[in-house]
Amino acid sequence: MAKLVRGFRDIFEPQSKNFTQLENCAREVFSLYGFSELRLPTVEQKELFVKSTGETTDIVQKEMYAFEDAGHRQLAIRPEGTPGVVRAYLENNFVQQAPVQKFYYIGNMFRAERPQAGRYREFEQIGAEYIGNSAPAADAEVILMLKDIVAKFGAKNYTVKINSLGCDKCRPLYRQALIDFLSKEKDTLCENCQTRLEKNPLRVLDCKIDGERFKGRVPTMQLCPECQAHFDEVQRLLKGKINFEVDPMLVRGLDYYSRTVFEFQAGDASQNAIAAGGRYDTLVKNMGGPATPAIGWAMGAERVILSRGDVEIAKPKSVYFVSMDKACNEAAFNLMQAVRAAGVRTEGGLFDKNIKGQMKQADRCGASYAVIIGSDELAAREVTLKDLQTGNQQKISFDTLPNEVKKLV
Ligand code: ATP
Ligand code: MG
| pLDDT of the residue at 197 | 86
Cβ–ligand 1 distance for 289 under 6 Å, the answer no
Q: Which of 62, 111, 163, 271 gets mutated to test ligand 1 (max ligand atoms within 8 A of its CB)? A: 271
Q: Which ligand is nearest to the CA of 112?
A: 1
Give the ligand at the shortest distance from the Cα of 302.
Answer: 1
Please list the residue range(s) of the chain that carry CATH number 3.40.50.800.
318-408
CB 274 within 8 A of CB 150: yes
Q: How many other C-beta atoms lie within 10 A of the C-beta of residue 48?
A: 17
Write out the chain's pLDDT in tens, 409 residues.
999 999 999 999 999 999 999 999 999 999 999 999 999 999 999 999 999 998 888 899 999 999 999 999 999 999 999 999 999 999 999 999 999 999 999 999 999 999 998 999 999 999 999 999 999 999 999 999 999 999 999 999 999 999 999 999 998 899 899 899 999 988 888 888 888 888 888 888 888 787 778 888 888 889 999 999 999 999 999 999 999 999 998 988 777 899 999 999 998 777 799 999 999 999 999 999 999 999 999 999 999 999 999 888 788 899 999 999 999 999 999 999 999 999 999 999 999 999 999 999 999 999 999 999 999 999 999 999 999 999 999 999 999 999 999 999 9
318-408 has which fold? Rossmann fold (3.40.50)
Beta bridge partners of 294: 131
CA of 1 to the centre of ligand 1 (A): 32
- Supply the residue whose CA is at minimum distance from atom 13 of ligand 1: 298
What does the DSSP 8-state code read for residue 34? T
| Rg, C-alpha atoms of the chain | 28
| Cis preceding linkage at 14, omega within 30 | yes
Q: Which atom of ligand 1 is nearest to the CA of 63?
A: 27
87, 91, 92, 98: CA torsion to nearest 10:
70
- Asked: is 15-170+221-308 a CATH 3.30.930.10 domain? The reply is yes
Which of 267-300 are b and which e, b meaning 16 or more Cβ less than 10 Å from the residue's Cβ?
Answer: beeebbbbbbbbbbbbbbeebebeebbbbbbbbb
Could you tell me where in the chain the CATH 3.30.930.10 domains are found? 15-170+221-308
pLDDT per position as a tens digit, 269-297: 777 999 999 999 999 999 999 999 999 99
pLDDT of residue 93: 94
The answer to whether the CB of 70 falls within 8 A of the CB of 79 is no
* Angle at the Cα of 81 from the Cα atoms of 101 and 28, rounded to 5 degrees: 60
